[in-house]
A = this chain, B = another copy of it.
Amino acid sequence: MSEPRWLDDLEMAAWTSFVEAGHRVDRALERQLKDEAGLSHPQYEILVHLADAPDGELRMAELADRLITSKSGITYQVAQLEKLGLVRRRACPEQARGVYAVLTDEGSARLRGAAPAHVARVREVLIDVLDREQLAVLAEALGVVGRRLRAHDRA
């Protein structure tokens, strides 16, 4: 290991802000969803990604990749959502070992009901606090960071 290059003041400020904001926003939304929709954040995210997908269905591995969590975590959370009747499993017709998670009508309704309050909170804690220029830089800068790691994670 060579000489470490420590972070200067600006770098440190960017780093700590990023970490703190990430954690606090997470917690705020976790609470909001639990209180107002009775869903955990991972559960809500699963519903969102399914709703976005064509036919409201996605393979388990695809879900794990999008939620940035482990395969077993997805198995568990999809099982929870299945108990709630919000998601259904469907064997993949071609790939024998494949499984689709499918959004049910009830899941879709639940998501529609939960979304407005969730979006309102997202605005309140993040979006509406920033101006357009800041949003643009965030989108661009963190977009690059995310894509680099995503590519690396898949490799």
The reply to whether the CB of A83 lies closer than 8 angstroms to some CB of chain B is no
Complex CA–CA separation, A14 to B123 (angstroms): 11
1/0 per residue A124-137: CB within 8 Å of B?
01110110111111
The reply to whether the CB of A24 lies closer than 8 angstroms to some CB of chain B is yes
Count of A interface residues, CB-CB < 8 Å: 54
The reply to whether the CB of A119 lies closer than 8 angstroms to some CB of chain B is yes
Report whether B17 and A143 are in contact in the complex, using a CB–CB cutoff of 8 Å. yes
Of residues 108 to 155 in A, which have CB atoms within 8 Å of B's CB atoms? Answer: 115-117, 119-120, 122-123, 125-127, 129-130, 132-146, 148-150, 152-153
Report whether B20 and A122 are in contact in the complex, using a CB–CB cutoff of 8 Å. no
Q: Which residues of chain B are within 8 angstroms of A149 by Cβ–Cβ distance?
A: 21, 24-25, 27-28, 125
The reply to whether the CB of A13 lies closer than 8 angstroms to some CB of chain B is yes
Report whether B4 and A116 are in contact in the complex, using a CB–CB cutoff of 8 Å. yes
How many copies of this kind of chain does the complex include?
A: 2
A sample of 25 cross-chain residue pairs with beta-carbon separation below 8 angstroms, ordered by A number, consists of A4-B115, A5-B123, A7-B119, A10-B139, A11-B127, A13-B135, A13-B143, A14-B127, A14-B142, A17-B140, A17-B141, A17-B142, A20-B150, A21-B143, A21-B145, A21-B149, A22-B22, A27-B68, A27-B149, A28-B149, A28-B152, A129-B148, A133-B137, A134-B140, A137-B137
A residues apposed to B, CB below 8 Å? 1, 4-7, 10-11, 13-15, 17-18, 20-28, 68, 115-117, 119-120, 122-123, 125-127, 129-130, 132-146, 148-150, 152-153
